[in-house]
Each structure stands twice: as structure tokens, then as C-alpha cells.
Amino acid sequence: MTTATSGRTRLRGVVGTAHTRVEGRDKVTGAARYAGEVPFADLAHGWLVLSTVARGRIRAVETGPVLAMPGVLAVLHHGNAPRLVTDYAGLMGMTPDPTAAVFQQDRVPHVGWPVALVVAETSEQAREAAEALVVAYDEEPHDTELTTDHPDAHPVGGVMPAETGKGDLAAGLAASAAVVDEEYTTPEEHHSMMEPHAATARWDGGRLEVVDSNQGTTWIQGELASMFSLDASAVRVRSEHIGGGFGSKGLRAHQVAAVMAATELQRPVRVVMTRRQMFSLAGYRSPTAQRVRLGSDADGRLLALEHRSLSRTSTVYEFVEPSAGVARVMYDADAHHTANHVVPLDVPSPTFMRAPGEAPGSFAIESALDELAERLGVDPVELRLRNEPEVGPVSGLPFSTRNLDACFREGARRFGWAERDPRPGVRRDGRWLLGTGTAAASFHSGAGPSTATVTAEADGGFTVRISAADIGTGARTALTLVAADALEVAPERVRVRIGDSDFGPAMIAGGSMGTRSWAWAVTEAAGELRERLALGVTVPPEGITVRSDTTAALGALAQKERHSFGAQFAEVAVDTATGEVRVRRMLGIFAAGRIVNPLTARNQLVGGMVWGISMALHEEAVRDRTSGGLYAPDLAGYHVATNADVGDVQADWVDDADPDDPVGIKGVGEIGVVGAAAAVANAVRHATGVRHRHLPIRPDRVLSAAGTNGERRS
């Protein structure tokens, strides 16, 4: 098997070669302006006020005293806010999360529900007035606890069927030489991107302009137009630089509140979420309770597989964390059953968060596979290789490419897996017990319809316009390389402009689909432009522009199982006297399509693996049962991995160009986190002999599991 860090080799071209980010200089000098940093004359500042009760009704909003405070311009709330349209079909045909459609009702469905916006001349004045605003509630009893026997649990589909099933599970398990039947849980997790959500709205010549931090400008344009009953052409959304998204930067309360206030006051209004507000307004990953049952023959070939996942949603919006979906792609068995169920509770609405479904789902099933391997005495890598399916286990469709076996073989070689002694708890380095673990990864690969224009400028340069979003992925740079190759020119001659809804509809930065979707559109437009220029035309002063739309091409794609795959390896050190766990090294080998820019792609894959470390060891939002709100919702209370938590983490890839994509791209945004937490947990098991089925693997859990303490906190 060959590996290449430069993707499919071509005789010429820049796709597949490392390039520093085209906006890199702006980012390292501080010149890059993010949403809350674009100056506006006469700007007013809005500050959101959130509910302090988990369920009930707003009895009164006492605006009088606050309106008398220095600098205060307005207080918007359900009693005076304009009515919004909320029954339209938004992203993926879903109606919008009512959390974003602010101030439309007196009902409070969770702690942290937006109840008012205070607008003032300065942010200091707005903050003080918002804190002073008295809101009276009629409180009602609340239920915020996800329990596996909750009576309101029900199957929910969403982006995939809620349940799949074939074969007789009981018979399969009964016929098995080894069986695993365990429960795994993951906690409430928050995106916690570094840039808080920020939007500035203003009316300019009869047009609404919103400078925002989001993952798709035409997406937000469409939502705001629908909500405020405006023609889409009357709304412009710009999002030049985005300080991270991870699924959270969609339609949120801040944009809608800013538009309301700008309309009310007829001046620019900026609304920025505080870090604490983000913990209830910005979405999050639901906790999951998962049960996995596996049965296999003595060689490890699966005869029965069941994966059931329970997650929660709010009472106002149905969102499912589809953790049981991962087995539909990864493993086959004659008896194969998966189910995603959801309980509505008095909590904020969860949403997509990096590898929704796959991240928690892979923790469960890849831990269970490790348990099965141990019971059988089969090497965990070998167990996975023996269970490679020929076709989609549920769909029966062929894979576009899979190459998971190549990932495992290459990863095992480079990680030194062959020398691994399978016995747990026998390697020591001073106070640390050492262990290694592995897990498989997969994430859906797709593309969404997009439009792009490419203009040949009179000065010999080329301008690409597409309403793409670079949320840190390196998309702007990748599209520059793709356009350069399609135009057959040096990348220095190409200027890519993104993040403006005026550039026309395009896929969002989500589902690991952004760069592939946009590159397709850019390739089409650039290719056609190159052909036109090849005819020897003279470029007029206004340039020559070609527009593309990939809708038809995508519609003609054959139905296949299209996914990125990967093999994760981790080495951990555990001090069982203190409960500390450190990840010393990780290696991920991925089959993730053609790699456009190795420099940024590697960074993104490693970043996903760092998320896996963080998920395995640190992240956990704790909900207070009495109040229904979060305990310590800030970056000191909610731990994400620091630099010191991340050891030697490496990512690489095998050749895996997607034959049906014009560039060969699959997507690298989310695959890095999938399986990473399971690899860490499996390594902790190998180090200590203790299996951790509940994340995060906190020191107290390690201590309790070591049997030196009877106290347990699940």
C-alpha cells in the first residue's frame, strides 16, 4: 500500500501541494476583521437578557426603570417585538429553532431562553441595564434529566431513518461465541469556538445588511428574509472571517434580535453573545445513553449487532443526535438493528456539533468492538479487518471508495502496533501506567448544490466569487488552488472572494461538505472560462464572467455509500493514584478523498483528533437538577483541551480520490474526531485494565474504578 501526503500526483497543478493560507498574513497581524469588528457610524449595542427559570411564563418585563438608565435606547421583549414568520421551511426543509425567533411568546421552555434585548449607546450601558432588568415569571415544575426509561422517548429520524433492522437479533446473539452487551454514555458537550456569535444589522438604502459570523451567508440570508417577510434580494449577509463554527454558527438569537433592534431604531445595532450566554443560546451536543449488543463467531465475525441511542432535545424543537447511525456504515451482521430515540426536556435546543452522531456513536460501538476483541482474544485491528463489509450494511449500495483496511495497515505499521502486548495493566513508566488503543472512523461525504462565478479580469487576474465560508478549514486557500488548476494558471493570479450572500446560493460550511461542494462549482465555472479564453478572446475592461450551478450535476450522481474513513491509534499514560490521564501520542490515518492542501488538511484532521482527546478526558457540561441550568457555564467550568493536554498527535492519509468528484474530494472536517475518544478509552483500558464506558474519563472516575474508593459519580 502506498501512502502519499500530497494526494493523487499529477504532472502539474497545485492541488495536492502545501500552501500557506491566503488570508494568513491578515490573521497573524490582526488585520483580519471578524463580525463584531467591522466599524459602523452611530452603532448601538444590544445585550440579551436570558431567563433564569427552566419552565414557566413571563408575567412581567419591568422596562420602565431600565429605560430611564443612562444611554438606554430600547428594550425589546415578547410584549412589544415585531411578529415573525416561523412556519417556513428553512435549512434541509426544517422549520427554524424557535430559540432564534426571539420574543414571540411569553412561554419559557428552558433556563437561558432569550426574554429581552436591551439596546444602549455603549456596551457598558447595555450590559448594566440588561443586568438591572427585572423579569417576573410564573414558574412551573421542570424536567431536565435524560433517563433511559423516560416515558416520552420516541424514535426520531432527521437526516436519516430513526430505525433500521434486519435479521433475528436474539437468535444471532444466542449463536454467538462471544457477546458484548453494554451501556455507554456521553455528556452534554458544547462547541465553544473561540469567537462568540456576533451580528451587526443595519438598513442601508432599503436593504437590510447583516455582518455576521456564520457558516453560510445565503443560509442566514434566506432565514432572515423568511422571518421578516422580506424579499431575499433585500437582505445581504456578509461573513468575511469566522472564528470557528463546528455546527453552532447558524441562525441564532443574536442575528434576529439585531435585525429587530436595527429596524426599530433605524440605526446599526450590534448584538454579541457573552461566553456564558453561548452555553444556552448557541446549541450543543445532547448527552447520549447508548446500548450496544454485539455477538460474533469465534473468529470475530459479527453475527448480531444492535446499537440503540437515546438523546434529548428541547420542548420547542426536535433535534436528534443520531449516534446509532454509525453502524449502518461500518459493520454488517445477519442480525443488524439500530435505533435513534429522543426525549424532549426543559432544556435548550441541541444542534449539529462536529461529527453529529458519529462522535458519540463511534465512542460506543468502537469501545464495544474493543471489548469483543478482548473477550475473543483477537487483535482489535484484526477484528475490524475481519468485519469489513463489501457493501453498505443497511443500504446494500456499493462504497464509492472505502480503503479502511489500508488505513489500519498503514497506521498499525507506523504506530508500532505489531509489538503490542495485549495484556492490560503491565507497562509502567514511573508513576504512569501505559497503554495503547485503536478505533475506526467514518463520516459521510457529500456535496450540496452551489453556484459560483469566475471572472477573467482585464489585468490578467481571475476573481472567484462564491458564498462559501472559511470557518478555519482553509476553504479560501483550497478554492484558490482548485481554481488555479481549473484555469491552468498560477494561484497567485487567482483571488477568491467568499462570505457574501450577494455571490449567490451555495452550500454551507457543514457536514464536511463545504470544500467539496464549492470546489465542484468553482471547477465547473473556471473550466468553462478557460475553454472560452482558449479561443483567444480579448478580455474587456469589465472582464469575462462565467457562472456555474452544480444542482444538475449533483442530481445525476449515482447512489452510493460515500464516506471518509480512518484508523485511530492512541497511547495514554494513567496515574491510577491520582486519576490523571495523559495522551502521549496519537496517529490517525485517513481515507478522506483527494487532499487539496496538505498543510491545512493535516491541521484540520489533527484538530479533530484533539477534539477526540478533549471529548475523552475533559468535556462535560453539568446541569443542575434543581434549577435546570448549567453549573459554571464558562471556559473555566467547561474544560476543553489546553495545549498541555495534547501530546504528539499526527495525521496522514492514504490515496483515496473519489472517482465521482471532479477534484476527487471527500471531506476532512469531521472525520478526525470520529473514533478518537474510543481509541483513548481503549488505551486507558489497556493501560489500567479498567473499562470506562462513561465520558469524560475524569480523575474521580479513574480513582473510583481503580477500586480504591467506593464513591461513584456517574
DSSP state of 333: -
Residues in 290-349 at the binding interface with other proteins, rule: CB under 8 A = none
Q: What is the bridge-based pairing of β-strands 544-549 and 428-429?
A: unpaired
Q: Please identify which residue in 61, 193, 257, 533 interacts with other proteins, judged by CB under 8 A.
A: 193
Owner of C-alpha cell 473555566: 636
Taken in order 687, 693, 694, 700, is the CA torsion positive or negative?
negative
Closer CB to other proteins, residue 238 or residue 291? 238
SS3 674: coil
Applying CB under 8 A, the span of 143-151, 395-403, 530-538, 631-639 interacting with other proteins comes to: 631-639
Residues in 502-541 at the binding interface with other proteins, rule: CB under 8 A = none
- The x, y and z cell numbers of residue 305, run together, are 449487532
The nearest distance, CB 384 to other proteins, in angstroms, is: 25
Applying CB under 8 A, the span of 308-316, 453-461, 534-542, 595-603 interacting with other proteins comes to: 595-603
Closer CB to other proteins, residue 220 or residue 471? 471
Q: Please identify which residue in 206, 559, 644, 659 interacts with other proteins, judged by CB under 8 A.
A: 644
Closer CB to other proteins, residue 317 or residue 638? 638
Query: What number of CA atoms fall less than 13 Å from residue 540's CA on the CB side?
Result: 3
Residues in 362-401 at the binding interface with other proteins, rule: CB under 8 A = none
Q: How many whole angstroms separate alpha carbon 49 and alpha carbon 45?
A: 13
Q: Please identify which residue in 637, 660, 689, 691 interacts with other proteins, judged by CB under 8 A.
A: 637
The nearest distance, CB 89 to other proteins, in angstroms, is: 30
Q: How many whole angstroms separate alpha carbon 260 and alpha carbon 251?
A: 14
Whether 670 sits among the annotated catalytic residues: the reply is yes
Closer CB to other proteins, residue 190 or residue 293? 190
The nearest distance, CB 154 to other proteins, in angstroms, is: 29
Closer CB to other proteins, residue 19 or residue 341? 19
Q: For the purposes of burial, counting CB atoms within 10 Å of the CB of 64, is it exposed (0-12), middle (13-18) or buried (19 or more)?
A: exposed
Q: What is the bridge-based pairing of β-strands 114-120 and 72-77?
A: antiparallel
- Strand intervals (E) in 109-234: 114-120, 134-139, 154-155, 163-166, 178-186, 198-204, 207-212
Q: What is the bridge-based pairing of β-strands 178-186 and 288-296?
A: antiparallel
Owner of C-alpha cell 413571563: 58
- The x, y and z cell numbers of residue 506, run together, are 451555495
Regarding 473 and contact with other proteins (CB under 8 A), the answer is yes
Residues in 413-432 at the binding interface with other proteins, rule: CB under 8 A = 431
C-alpha distances in Å from residue 611, one per residue of 27, 159, 264, 659:
22, 23, 41, 30
Regarding 669 and contact with other proteins (CB under 8 A), the answer is no
Q: Please identify which residue in 100, 355, 407, 641 interacts with other proteins, judged by CB under 8 A.
A: 641
Let me know: does 615 contact 670? Beta carbons within 8 Å. no
Q: How many whole angstroms separate alpha carbon 89 and alpha carbon 93?
A: 5
Single out the catalytic residue among 163, 580, 670, 711: 670
Q: How many residues bind other proteins (CB under 8 A)?
A: 99
C-alpha distances in Å from residue 340, one per residue of 117, 327, 510, 555, 675:
37, 12, 21, 28, 19
Residues in 41-60 at the binding interface with other proteins, rule: CB under 8 A = 52
Regarding 602 and contact with other proteins (CB under 8 A), the answer is yes
In this structure, how many other beta carbons lie within 10 angstroms of the beta carbon of residue 644?
7
Q: Please identify which residue in 1, 10, 28, 94 interacts with other proteins, judged by CB under 8 A.
A: 28
Q: How many whole angstroms separate alpha carbon 610 and alpha carbon 645?
A: 9
Q: How many whole angstroms separate alpha carbon 303 and alpha carbon 334?
A: 6
Q: How many whole angstroms separate alpha carbon 468 and alpha carbon 660?
A: 22
Q: Please identify which residue in 97, 143, 189, 195 interacts with other proteins, judged by CB under 8 A.
A: 195
Residues in 163-182 at the binding interface with other proteins, rule: CB under 8 A = none
Q: Please identify which residue in 649, 678, 681, 683 interacts with other proteins, judged by CB under 8 A.
A: 649
Residues in 449-468 at the binding interface with other proteins, rule: CB under 8 A = none
Q: What is the bridge-based pairing of β-strands 163-166 and 428-429?
A: unpaired
Closer CB to other proteins, residue 181 or residue 624? 624
Applying CB under 8 A, the span of 253-261, 307-315, 452-460, 647-655 interacting with other proteins comes to: 647-655
Closer CB to other proteins, residue 473 or residue 682? 473
Q: Please identify which residue in 46, 187, 222, 243 interacts with other proteins, judged by CB under 8 A.
A: 243
Residues in 269-288 at the binding interface with other proteins, rule: CB under 8 A = 272, 274-275
The nearest distance, CB 233 to other proteins, in angstroms, is: 30
Residues in 106-165 at the binding interface with other proteins, rule: CB under 8 A = 122-124, 127-128, 131
Closer CB to other proteins, residue 16 or residue 505? 16
Q: Please identify which residue in 437, 598, 662, 664 interacts with other proteins, judged by CB under 8 A.
A: 598
Ramachandran angles phi, psi of 294, nearest 5°: -125, 140
159 alpha-carbon distance from chain centroid = 14
DSSP state of 225: H
The nearest distance, CB 399 to other proteins, in angstroms, is: 28
Regarding 3 and contact with other proteins (CB under 8 A), the answer is no
Regarding 700 and contact with other proteins (CB under 8 A), the answer is yes
Closer CB to other proteins, residue 310 or residue 601? 601
SS3 49: strand
Q: What is the bridge-based pairing of β-strands 302-314 and 494-497?
A: unpaired
The nearest distance, CB 624 to other proteins, in angstroms, is: 5
Regarding 8 and contact with other proteins (CB under 8 A), the answer is no
Ramachandran angles phi, psi of 639, nearest 5°: -85, 125
Q: Which residues are marked as active site? A: 670
